[in-house]
Amino acid sequence: KNDMNGDLPLKGRRLVITAGGTKEPIDPVRYLTNRSSGKMGYALAEAALAAGAQVTLVAATKRPYSPGIDRILAPSAKEMLAAVTEAMKTADAFIGAAAVSDYALAKPFEQKVKKISPDEHLTLDLVQNPDILKTVGQAKRPGQVVVGFAAETENLLPNAEKKLASKKADMIVANDVTAPEAGFDKDSNLVTLLQPKQAAITVGPASKLTVAKAIIDQLVTLLDKQ
C-alpha cells in the first residue's frame, strides 16, 4: 500500500479519462450526438488531479478545467480512440466516462445535404463505432486498471454486470440515467460501483465531484492491489 503519499494517493500515477458525448459528422455543418454534458468526466479529472495524478482528459465536449489537466479534444469516437490508444501507452489507469456514440455515418457527406422536395425521406447509413473501453480492456497490461461506465435506462445492475465482463473492466460505474438525481447534464449523480467478486457500493445522490472522489478512492484501492 502506498501510505507514504498521504493525501496524494495518485502521486506518480498517469490516468486517462474520457468525457462528453461524441459528435459524429453527418456533413460539414451537422453531426450526430447525445445528451451527455461531460460533467462527470471533467469531475473525475479534477478529483484525480487533486489526488496527485497526471491526468490526460480526452474530451468530446468543451468545459472549464484546471490548468494542471492535459486536455485533448477528440470530438468523434474514432478521434477519441486514437488519442486514448496513444495516451494509454504510458498510463496506469483508464476511466471511460464518455458517452461514445455507438454509430457513425458509414460515409459522411462531403457537402452540406440539401433539401430536394418536401415529401422526400432522408436515410442515413450508420455503422458501429469502435468500442474504446473494450479495446482498452482487451489491451490491458499487467498493473493497468480499467474503469468503465454503464449508462442504462432499465435493468441497471444486470446490464452493468454484463459490461463488467464483456469489457474486461476492473470496475463498472452503473448509472441509471433516468433517475431524478442522476444522469445527463445534471450536477448530481447516483451510481453503483461494481467490481468482480466484491459487494456493490452505492454512491450518492451527491454532487458529481463527490461521486468522482468516491470513484477515485476505489481506483486508488485497485491500483494499490496490483
Q: Which residues, 84 to 123, sit near Ca ion by CB under 5 A?
A: 102
Which residue's CB is nearer to ligand CTP, number 151 or number 214? 151
Count CB-CB contacts under 10 A for residue 66: 13
Task: Pick one of 17, 51, 150, 212: the residue that binds ligand CTP (CB under 6 A).
Answer: 150
At 175, list the grid cell: 448509472
Contact 93, 223 (CB under 8 A): yes
Residue 103 CB burial class (10 angstroms; 0-12, 13-18, ≥19): middle
Nearest to 27 by CA among 81, 105, 79, 99: 105
* Minimum gap (Å) between residue 121 Cβ and ligand CTP: 26
* 163 sits near ligand CTP (criterion: CB under 6 A): yes
Q: Interface with ligand CTP by CB under 6 A: which range of 43-51, 98-106, 192-200, 207-215?
A: 98-106
* Minimum gap (Å) between residue 136 Cβ and ligand CTP: 8
* 148 sits near ligand CTP (criterion: CB under 6 A): yes
Which residue's CB is nearer to Ca ion, number 102 or number 181? 102
Active site residue 34: yes
- Among 2, 5, 34, 159, the active-site one is 34
DSSP per position, 175-210: EETTSTTSSTT-SEEEEEEE-TTS--EEEEEEEHHH
Which residue's CB is nearer to ligand CTP, number 17 or number 111? 17
Cα 82 from Cα 71, distance rounded (Å): 14
Q: For binding to ligand CTP (CB under 6 A), which residues are involved?
A: 18, 77, 96, 98, 100, 102, 129, 131-133, 148-151, 163
